A and B are shown apart, each in its own frame.
Chain A
Amino acid sequence: MSTQLWALAVVGVVVLAAACLEIFRARRARVKTLGVNAAPASDPYILYFTGEGCTVCRTHQEPALAKLGAVRIDKVDAVADRTLADRFNVYTLPTTVVMSREGHALHVNYGYATAPKLERQLAEARGAGLQAATA
């Protein structure tokens, strides 16, 4: 029985370490990505990094993006367009980046992002745009 308990403890430590590493990695990638520039647009838009092998993109992310309504979504194949994917530090799929109308990255979501979360980020991006326009 003690062998099983030790094995359980080892797995617990590995899972905990992996979770910490993932949080650190996402935070570092987000810091590096915020403010990165892409093409300006008339309204905030979303850069959506996906790939043919990304199942969550099809089963979760794309239905969530479809709920956003009339928002411009630029779909990018992260494997085919490696330069753009590297610029936005895409290390996991799906990745969504909310871009301001000036073309700055405002919010970066590594992994699946829900529709309400994206709506909130888009609303913030629109608000930031209005503030900039009135200032």
Chain B
Amino acid sequence: MATQVVDHSALKVNQTGIIATVLVSFIGSAFYRPFLVLIPLLAIVLLVGTFAPQYALFKQLYFKVLKPRGIVKPRPVQDRPEPHNFAQGLGGVFLAVASAFLLPVPVIGLALALLVAVLAFVNLAFGYCLGCQIYFQLGKRGLIRAS
């Protein structure tokens, strides 16, 4: 499978959106519980964005608003989008599980959501993408077609 140009600024905006949403939900819910609804909403946004990239909210925010206005500069890199999409989907699944725990066991729900935010931060700050590494391992074991 050939590489294509992936705008890494779009990925960074996506990661920033994930971190910001989880943090607002986490801190906000300490004072006003309905803020927790942001977590299932974020799960939906990530899962929809994985299967229909044209509806990926944060990436669209980048392509339609931030990039045309010059607020965020594009950073095209020869890359494959599949591992990033896989990582985003994994984040969405974790947030969906977190959402299921939010009412019965809020500690687990919040912890899972925070974990997704921590991993998004690690990717944003250090370029280490855990989901991409899992994608590589699955490809190496022949469980998904990774190359």
Which stretch (B44-52, B53-61, B89-97, B107-115) binds chain A? B107-115
Count of A interface residues, CB-CB < 8 Å = 30
Chain A positions 77 through 101: 1 when the CB is less than 8 Å from some CB of chain B, otherwise 0: 1111010010000011100000000
Query: Residue among A8, A14, A79, A92 with the most chain B CB within 10 A?
Result: A79
Query: Residue among B82, B106, B137, B140 with the most chain A CB within 10 A?
Result: B140
B128 with A56: CB separation less than 8 A = yes
Residues 89-147 of B at the A interface (beta carbon under 8 Å): 106-108, 110-111, 114-115, 118, 127-129, 132-133, 135-137, 139-140, 146-147
**Cα(A93)–Cα(B115), bound, Å:** 22
Closest to B3 in A: A52
B147 with A54: CB separation less than 8 A = no
Query: Using a CB–CB distance below 8 Å, which chain B residues touch chain A?
Result: 1, 3, 8, 26-27, 29-30, 77-80, 82-84, 106-108, 110-111, 114-115, 118, 127-129, 132-133, 135-137, 139-140, 146-147
